[in-house]
């Protein structure tokens, strides 16, 4: 599942962070990589040549897209069966660091004309 967080930046704005709560272990990433490379040469039978050998032609874009989705579904089911998908925690939003809070307090005090070094 994808999580989206809007978090404050140190300059007062915000930024969007996208986090997936699942991670493929190394074996699954390797299997997915092999699958990607195999899909680059997706060929369909296209009759025979004059010597009786099998001819092939590249799959058209629609057929390749459909096959890629089918392969993805099959891979994901197999990864789940083998427990090759790890759950990972969603990061917590950052809290201001003490030095940041202190710097903000000094800035506010200066703006108010208060000397906090004597207190």
Task: Read off the pLDDT of residues 74-104 as tens digits, 9 standing for 90 and up.
Answer: 888 998 999 988 888 776 766 655 566 667 7
pLDDT of residue 110 exceeding 90, the answer is no
Rounded mean pLDDT, 19-38: 82
**Could you tell me the pLDDT band of residue 45, with boundaries at 50, 70 and 90?**
confident
**Across the chain, what does the average pLDDT equal?**
79
Q: What angle do CA 44, 49, 50 make, to 5 degrees?
A: 170
Number of domains observed in the structure of the chain = 1
What does the pLDDT read at residue 119?
Answer: 46
Range of the domain at 104: 2-118
């Amino acid at each position: 599942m994808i999580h989206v967080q809007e978090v404050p930046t140190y300059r007062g704005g915000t930024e969007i962070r996208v986090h997936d709560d699942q991670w493929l272990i190394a074996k699954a990433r390797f299997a997915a990589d092999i699958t990607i490379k195999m899909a680059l040469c997706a060929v369909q039978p296209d009759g025979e040549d004059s010597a009786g050998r099998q001819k092939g032609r590249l799959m058209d874009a629609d057929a390749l897209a459909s096959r890629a989705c089918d392969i993805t579904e099959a891979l994901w089911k197999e990864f789940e069966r083998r427990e090759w998908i790890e759950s990972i925690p969603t990061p917590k939003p950052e809290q201001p660091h003490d030095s940041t809070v202190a710097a903000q307090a000094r800035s506010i005090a200066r703006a108010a004309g208060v000397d906090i070094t004597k207190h």
